[in-house]
């Protein structure tokens, strides 16, 4: 690894270390770790988790590894949801979030090694690694909002690398099958990735079946189907996908996500000559979701591996496209700036007062400005996505 990249990794590491013990959106990180403690108590509890079971299992493994550092009373504070009064909160947050850092950097190192082997130009590698290492969306989502989104990064990069190498092996099948257990968004993108891959038809069919069967099997086998479907279709990812729609006839909706997604994937199929067409398909799928639907701020980090992967294989306009990608990632910050709870709220471990700061004290009508910038974000993102699919 060249010297400049080692230095960049260390600066990025320093930024993340500075954030580890001081920021978190309490409901999410403490609730998921409470669940992971339950897995640690009894492994069978993994079958009661209604979302991202593998991410919870990873957390549980690290809870076990770091068990000597947990302060007394932590488990009861988590169980009683007394999140603001967790003993030795900085130590707790540091070690809760350390696995996020380990997974994120491992994913980047895997990606870097892959790019170096593919003889990608050094300038491109440098630009794309800087994009990942200093990306505001990743820094906010994983280290300020503090969600385990970086666990998905390794799976995303491995999936993309396997597809690029056309490597159809047990490892490929395993990674594809396990990905939805890490984060459910893989369910909505795997079909596009597989269809746009250069595998043989039988391989595509086999991979589709083997990728899509295990997760529903787990959901129905463990008896969490009702709660899982409830939370995903009525209240989560699925709900947000189905909400943007218009009616061409009374009671005849067109769901915009599906309509625009398949329009753009068709264009992509007809026009794209990229070696990494499958990563464009993954990017288009997720970015249509972000452009059209309401989403939790941390979700945006899901798109970055796909964006980075196809950008690096773009021969034309790489620098221009990367600049727009940077702009989109900064515009993304308009989402957390809509509410005090997602801006100053995550700083509650720094000082309890941050829980009670209201944004109006700083900038009146801040929600209005946030929504204007959210609209700009959606506009730029959808234009960028259309451009990518039409090239």
Partner 1 sequence: MILILFIIINLIIPKTTYAVYEEYFFYKNCQNKEALTLNQQISQEFSIDKDFGAIEVYFEREGIGDGKLEFRLEKKNGNMVYNNIYPLEKVINGYFFPFGFETQQLKQPESFVFYIKLIENPNNAKIYVCKDNKNNLSYKISGERSVLKSIIFWSLYNIRQDPYFFAFYFLLLLGVIFIWKRI
| Residue 341 touching partner 1 (CB under 8 A) | no
The CA-based angle 380-381-382, given to 5 degrees, is 95
DSSP state, residue 71: P
Q: How many residues bind partner 1 (CB under 8 A)?
A: 37
Closest listed residue to residue 378, CA positions, set 276, 316, 273, 290: 290
Length of the chain, in residues: 391
Contact present, 45 and 63 (Cβ < 8 Å): no
* Minimum CB distance to partner 1, residue 141 (Å): 14
Give the nearer residue to partner 1 in terms of CB position, either 19 or 115.
Answer: 19
Whose Cβ is closer to partner 1: residue 144's or residue 224's? 144
- The H or E element containing residue 63 is helix 53-65
How many other CB atoms sit within 10 Å of the CB of residue 330?
13
Closest CA to 360 of 368, 350, 349, 352: 368
Q: Which is nearer to partner 1, 116 or 362 (CB)?
A: 362
Token output for 339: 């509410």
Q: Is 24 in the site for partner 1 (CB under 8 A)?
A: no
Least distance in angstroms from the C-beta of 94 to partner 1? 7
> Is 73 in contact with 87 (CB distance < 8 Å)?
yes
Enumerate residues 352-381 that contact partner 1 by CB under 8 A.
352-357, 361-362
**Interface mask toward partner 1 for 4-23; x: CB under 8 A:** --xx--xx-xxx-xxx-xxx
Select 25 or 215, whichever has its Cβ closest to partner 1: 25
Site for partner 1 in 75-94 (CB under 8 A): 82, 84-85, 87-91, 94
120-159 footprint of partner 1 as x/- string (CB under 8 A):
------------------------x---------------
For the chain, first and last CA: distance in Å?
Answer: 33
From residue 25 to residue 64, the character string flagging contacts with partner 1 as x (rule: CB under 8 A) and all else as - is: ----------------------------------------
Q: DSSP H helical segments within 183-334, as ranges? A: 185-195, 201-212, 214-221, 225-229, 237-242, 256-271, 277-292, 304-312, 318-331
Smallest separation, CB 1 to partner 1 (Å): 10
Q: Please, are residues 347 and 307 in contact by the beta-carbon 8 Å criterion?
A: no
Binding site for partner 1 (CB under 8 A): 3, 6-7, 10-11, 13-15, 17-19, 21-23, 69, 82, 84-85, 87-91, 94, 144, 347, 349-357, 361-362
């Amino acid at each position: 690894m060249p010297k400049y990249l080692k230095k960049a990794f260390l600066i990025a590491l320093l930024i993340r270390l500075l954030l580890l013990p001081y920021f978190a959106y309490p409901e999410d990180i403490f609730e998921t770790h409470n669940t992971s403690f339950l897995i640690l108590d009894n492994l069978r509890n993994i079958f009661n988790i209604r979302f991202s079971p593998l991410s919870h299992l990873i957390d549980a493994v690290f809870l076990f590894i770091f068990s000597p550092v947990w302060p007394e009373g932590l488990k009861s504070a988590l169980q009683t949801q007394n999140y603001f009064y967790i003993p030795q909160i900085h130590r707790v947050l540091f070690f809760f979030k350390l696995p996020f850092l380990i997974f994120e950097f491992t994913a980047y190192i895997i990606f870097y090694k892959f790019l170096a082997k593919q003889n990608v130009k050094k300038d491109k590698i440098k630009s794309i690694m800087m994009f990942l290492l200093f990306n505001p969306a990743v820094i906010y989502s994983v280290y300020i909002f503090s969600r385990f989104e970086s666990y998905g990064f390794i799976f995303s990069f491995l999936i993309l690398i396997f597809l690029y190498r056309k490597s159809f092996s047990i490892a490929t099948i395993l990674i594809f099958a396990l990905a939805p257990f890490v984060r459910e968004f893989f369910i909505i993108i795997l079909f596009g990735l597989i269809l746009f891959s250069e595998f043989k038809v039988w391989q595509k069919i086999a991979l589709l079946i083997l990728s899509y069967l295990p997760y529903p099997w787990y959901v129905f086998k463990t008896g969490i189907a009702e709660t899982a479907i409830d939370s995903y279709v009525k209240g989560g990812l699925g709900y947000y996908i189905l909400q943007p729609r218009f009616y061409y006839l009374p009671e005849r909706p067109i769901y915009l996500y599906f309509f625009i997604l398949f329009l753009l994937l068709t264009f992509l199929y007809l026009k794209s000559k990229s070696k990494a067409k499958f990563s464009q398909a993954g990017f288009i799928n997720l970015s249509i979701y972000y452009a059209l639907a309401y989403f939790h701020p941390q979700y945006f980090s899901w798109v970055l591996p796909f964006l980075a992967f196809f950008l690096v294989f773009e021969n034309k306009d790489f620098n221009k496209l990367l600049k727009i990608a940077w702009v989109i990632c900064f515009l993304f910050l308009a989402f957390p700036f809509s509410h005090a709870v997602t801006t100053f709220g995550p700083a509650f471990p720094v000082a309890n007062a941050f829980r009670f700061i209201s944004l109006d004290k700083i900038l009146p009508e801040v929600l209005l400005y946030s929504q204007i910038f959210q609209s700009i974000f959606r506009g730029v993102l959808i234009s960028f996505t259309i451009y990518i699919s039409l090239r």
